[in-house]
Every structure is written in structure tokens, then in C-alpha cells.
Chain A
């Protein structure tokens, strides 16, 4: 198990380094000069070549790309994520204000979609062809096809404007006003969880259906075990492993979805900051934000891999 964990850890580190390289070089090699954007933002109308050179030096943009990369990395290790050109504030402060909001929204969606998705997929697989299976399958087919932003708008129209049950936008910290916070989060969490729930339940259903066909399940049935024992001991134990492995994908989709949903519901989280910064070409914010998203997914994938190896010893020797 230690060898397995070490190997996975090295792999995850390699991926992390590659992610940072990709982010950095994509931001630098694609069209768009960060300095020009700064100049436009600052409204410096009489830019002289000397001033430009001075600014370039100030931002460290006159160094070679490799050195700039190491500067960036070194800064990150010290907790310095650079300065936002647009907000004139350190990226760290910007992120620190917004990450809790996105985390609140994302974690709730993640937990709800995992629990409900696995349960729904399990029920559907065990009652294949029945009414419950049809309901779950239809819902998950709907869930993976409906665009997030549109579902959000539909809910705003129906529950917010038409029925007036829920506030249509904004975010309140649960520590300030728990009830208001929950009311504001119902719609965004529902929308975010819909896709993830559909995705997880489809995974769970197909993987459990595969297991139900296995010989050892037939053996379990034929030796007269109770349904509960067959399901819990034989089917679930084997069938849920592939479901655990897609949690990284699920997380990545929830992060991506929150970029959209925070804009639909006007939630001041990282997602909305990212969209604003992408359009404002605020490259320090964008590269930090996308790096954080990538790192979060890699870390989750790492733990998924570890638990996978722990659940299924065969994986360790692979």
C-alpha cells in the first residue's frame, strides 16, 4: 500500500507541475500583452518607450519566460499570488473573500449530488425496468442535457418571479443569517446538483447493472441469501468502486458549473470573479483561479485513487 501511495503521490505532483506550466505558458504565449492591458486600464495616454520599459521591469515582464515562471511559483509558495490589475488588490485577498462562498455552494452541491445520485442509481439498477428505474433514468437523462444557466433562469422565473417563494439572487453568509442564506442557496445548489446527480446516478446504475450480472451474485442468490445481504455485501461493495472514481470529474463539473451559476444568481464567489477577470484580461487573477481549480481536482483525484486502492486490493498491483 505504501508503494502504491508513493507512486500515486509522485504522479499527482508531476500532474500539478504540468498544470502550472500549462496555465503559465498558455497565458503568456496566447495573444494579449498583460502590460498593454495594464496601460489601457491605467489610462496612461502619453506612454513613452522609457515608461513602458520601466513598467515592464516593474512587473518582471522583461525577464525570460522561464524566470518569470519560477518567480510566479516562488511567490505562490510564499502565499503571494500577485496583484490584480483591475482591482488593484492582491489576488490573495480577492480569493480569500470569495473562496468560502464558492466552497459553501460547491460542497453542498457535491454532497447532495453524491448521496442522492448514488441512491437513485442503486434503486434504478436493482429495480431495472420498473417504474422507479424509469423515473430515475428519465431524470438523469434530463439532468445531463439541460443547460445550467437555462435551468437557473427557468427557476428564477417560476419560483422567484412568478411564485415569489425564493429570493432570485445574492448570497448571505450562513453565520449572519442562516435562514436567508439557505433560501438564497436553494436554487443555485439545486441547479448545480442536478447535473452532478444525473451523472453520478447514471454511473452508479450502469456499474451496478454490470455487477448484478456477475456469477458471484448469481451464486449469492442461489445459495439462498437474503436480498439485503446480496445487495449490501456482494453488489454494492463491488459496484460502487467505479462510482467513487468519477468523483474527480464530478467535482470538476461542479467547479465549472459554479462559474456559470454564480453569474446567473449574482453570487460573489470565485466563479464570478473568474468570468469578470477573463473578460478584463486580468491575467494574474485568471491564472491563479484556474490553477486553484486544477489543484483541487488533482487533490481529490489523488484521494480517490488512494481509497480506490484501499477498497480494491487488485488495483494496488496494477
Chain B
């Protein structure tokens, strides 16, 4: 195995880097749930990308003669009140879930990390102002904040992603600021400054790059949170416009038929839970591998 990494040998730091990678693999894949989570995420991604090929039916095609069918060999998960195939809708729902997860987390991370970087780097009054703003933002319950923002912005997928992103950004700012405060004390920052690097260059090249490990953990876990919040919002009815498919709104639609067709409301929820669970577990796994305090113990 080591031979394959041969080109690395030219550099003196090659050896620790290899063992670092090995440790990563070992710690990451040691726990079954993490592997399980990775697999679920992979399957969801593949499903979302190839949804048109995988789905047995058009998810939006109504067929009132075949409405509310129980699961059978033609419709594995049955059909809803409009005769749409539940399995196909689930498969297309994966697209929405992942898209919202990715974009909302992207918005949250870029907004929060920028604020945290500026606050932590400059300190003083700027730090005070930004961190108090973040405190204020954090005081609002995320679901309530995203709900209000999403409705005020006018609903729809894009606005949901922005709303959820803003709701989640405060945590990034806080974690980022804490990390920057410790990273900026490093000698290489001083060295960069001595050699005449400007603030922007130091912030982007030297500090930002070294703040990524804790951020990666947060981003992974937030993918799950974003999907969960989107599901709750679409359950309340803010989500994407019909006939688009979101798992949350499938639960709402199916709720009316809970007594006779429990699968309609319960199956999409299982999908939400599985995906959120997977992101949480992979996030935990990443934390175990990236947290320097745990180095040496696992």
C-alpha cells in the first residue's frame, strides 16, 4: 500500500502525512454508524442525481383512477390522493433535500465564516459589534427565524435556502471567531506580517486555511440540520410550490390519510430521519478524527 504513495517520499514531511491520513481512515471508519451514514449519504446523492432514471414513474403525473393505492408490486410504496407514485416522489424529494442542505449550509458557512473571520482577526470594537449581533441572531429560535424570513422573502426554494442559511449562520460566526482568535497567535501569521503581507492576504491565505477543520465538522452536521429545518418548513407549508416534491410536504399531504394509508405520511419521515442521522454521524466521525485533543487517545 505504501508504495503507491511513493512520490511523497521526496518531501521530508511525507511520513507524518501518510500516518495522518491513515489515522484519519482508521478513526473515521472504526465506528459502524459512521460507515452506515456515509453509505446512506452516498446512496442519497446517487438517487438525487439519477432521479429521472431511477424513478419508476413521473413524480408529478396524477392518475385519479389509481389514487390512494396501498403498496403493491406496481407501486412499491403505493400512491397518494392524486394517484402519484409515492416511491417516485420520494426519489425526487432527495433532490430537494440535498439541494437545500447544500445551499443553505453554503449560505450559512460563507456568511458566518466571513463575520467570524473579521471579528476574530480585527478584535476590539469590530469584534464587539459583530459578536453582539451574532448573540442577537442566536437568540431567535432557528425554526421561527427561518419561517418568518422565508415567508417575508416570498417562499419558494431559493428563499427557503437563504432563510435557513441566515438562521444557521450565527453558529459559524461564533465557532470561526473562536478558532481565528487562536490561529492568529501562530508564528506563521507574525512571519507573514513581517514579510509585508496585507490584512486581506493574511486573513485568506494564512488564517482561513487553518480554520477549516472545525468548520468541516460543523458543515457536515449542519447539512442534517438544514434538511431537518427545510422539512419542518415544508411541513408547515412554506416549501417549494406544488407540484414539486419535498419530503416534509409529503408528510403534510399524507397526514389526512393517516388512519387508512399510514405509509403516505410515515415513509417520507423515515427518509428525512435517515439522511439527518447520517449527516450527524459522519459529522461525529469527522470530529473524532479532526479534534486535536483526541489525538493520541484514538
Which residues does A use to contact B, with CB under 8 Å?
Answer: 11, 14-15, 18-19, 22, 26-27, 30-32, 141-142, 144-151, 153-154, 156-157, 161, 210, 213, 248, 252-253, 255-257, 259-260, 263, 274-275, 278-279, 281, 286, 289-290, 293-295, 297-298, 301
Contacts and interface: CB of A to CB of B under 8 A. Distances in A.
Contacts of B232: 147-149, 260
Contacts of A149: 231-232, 235, 248, 251
Interface string B269-289: 100110011001100000000
B135 interface: yes
Q: Which of B151, B224, B276, B293 has the most CB of A within 10 A?
A: B151
A146 B133 CA distance: 30
A276 B293 CA distance: 47
A260 B137 CA distance: 20
Given A18-B136, A256-B142, A256-B144, 12 more contacts: A11-B132, A22-B137, A31-B154, A147-B231, A148-B232, A149-B248, A150-B272, A153-B255, A153-B265, A157-B265, A161-B258, A260-B235
Q: Which of B224, B235, B259 has the most CB of A within 10 A?
A: B235
B39 interface: no
Interface of B: 33, 132-133, 135-145, 147-149, 151-154, 224, 228, 231-232, 235-237, 248, 251, 255, 258-259, 262, 265-266, 268-269, 272-273, 276-277, 280-281, 293, 297
Given A18-B136, A142-B277, A279 B151 contact: yes
Contacts of A11: 132, 135
Contact of A157 (B231, B262, B297): B262
Contacts of B237: 279
Q: Which of A259, A278, A293 has the most CB of B within 10 A?
A: A278
Contacts of B142: 252-253, 256
- Interface residue SS majority, chain B: helix
Nearest to A298: B139
A255 B152 contact: no
B149 to A, nearest CB: 7
B144 A19 contact: no
B258 to A, nearest CB: 5
Contacts of B269: 147, 150-151, 153-154
A134 to B, nearest CB: 11
10 contacts: A18-B133, A22-B137, A145-B224, A147-B248, A148-B232, A149-B248, A153-B258, A157-B259, A252-B141, A289-B144
A26 B148 CA distance: 10
Nearest to B152: A30
A279 B297 CA distance: 52
Contacts of B145: 290
A157 B132 CA distance: 44
A153 B132 CA distance: 38
Given A150-B251, A154-B266, A157-B266, A294 B273 contact: no
B132 A14 contact: yes
Contact of A141 (B152, B268, B277): B277
Nearest to B293: A210
Contacts of A157: 258-259, 262, 265-266
A30 B153 contact: yes
Contacts of B259: 157, 161
B137 to A, nearest CB: 7
Top 7 closest A-B pairs, CB basis?
Answer: A256-B141, A150-B269, A145-B277, A256-B143, A18-B136, A30-B152, A297-B139
A259 B251 contact: no
B140 A252 contact: yes
Given A18-B132, A149-B251, A153-B251, A293 B140 contact: yes
Contacts of A147: 228, 231-232, 235, 248, 269, 272-273, 276
Contact of B147 (A27, A153, A278): A278
Contacts of B280: 141, 144-145
A194 to B, nearest CB: 12
